[in-house]
Every structure is written in C-alpha cells, then in structure tokens.
Structure 1
Amino acid sequence: MDDLNSMLEPGMIVRHPDRPDWGLGQVQSNVKGKITVNFREEGKVVIDGAHVSLIPVFDA
C-alpha cells in the first residue's frame, strides 16, 4: 500500500476507499507514510499509508 501513497503530494485530491462519506480530500502533507488530508465532510485527518491506500482523483 505504501508504494501507491508515496506518489501523493500536497494539493492532490484523493478519496478514502473505506469512507466515501468523507467526500473528496486535499492532501496537505505526506511525510514518512503519514498523509494528512483535509476532507470536505470530515475535516483534517492523518492517514497511516501502511494501512490505507488513498485513491487519487484526477477529474475533480
């Protein structure tokens, strides 16, 4: 899972695969596998990239 998340950079838009109710999120930072994302419906969340592969959104 870590490999997919390693490409995420600040400003990119993502979805959480297990929490569609959070809506789209904007990556704030990606440091050592900890990805901070500001989701529209949930707010700021720190994701452990070793356990969750975020889904990049390119058409948002």
Structure 2
Amino acid sequence: MDNVNTILTPGMRVRHPDQPDWGTGQVQSNIGGKITANFPEVGKVVIDGTRIALLPVFDDG
C-alpha cells in the first residue's frame, strides 16, 4: 500500500487520524518522511510519516 503522506506538500491541509481535537492543520514541510504541520489547537507538530498517515483535507466546510 502506498503511503498517502508522500503527496503532502507545504500549504496542504490535513487532519491527524488519532487526534481529531487538534483541528485541521497546515503542512509546513515534508522532508524524509518527517512532516511538520501547524495545528490550531496544539501549534507546530512534527509527525513521523512512517508511523502516522495524515488525512488530507480538501474541503473544510
């Protein structure tokens, strides 16, 4: 199975599958499987993309 994290680019909006209370975050960088995203409720978070598959958000309404 392909890892959806490989398509994430800066500016894309995402949700963390295990932390819905974090809200919708914005990808800051995706380098070597480490994804940095800024979430409204927790701030900047670095995610290990080999362990967590973030969920792209295409419509937040």
Instruction: Tell me if TM exceeds 0.5.
Output: yes
1:41 alignment partner AA: E
CA contact (8 A) 1:2 1:50 kept: no
- Partner residue in 1 for 2:6: 6
Question: Aligned residues, how many?
Answer: 60
- Partner residue in 2 for 1:17: 17
The structural deviation recorded for 1:46 is: 0.1
- Partner residue in 1 for 2:36: 36
Report the aligned-residue RMSD. 1.3
Q: 4+ runs of 1 displaced by more than 4 Å?
A: none
Segments of 5+ residues of structure 2 without an aligned counterpart are none
Larger Rg computed on CA atoms: 2
Task: Give the Cα–Cα distance (whole angstroms) in 2 for the partners of residues 44 and 19 of structure 1.
Answer: 14
Segments of 5+ residues of structure 1 without an aligned counterpart are none
TM-score, normalization by structure 1: 0.95
TM-score, normalization by structure 2: 0.93
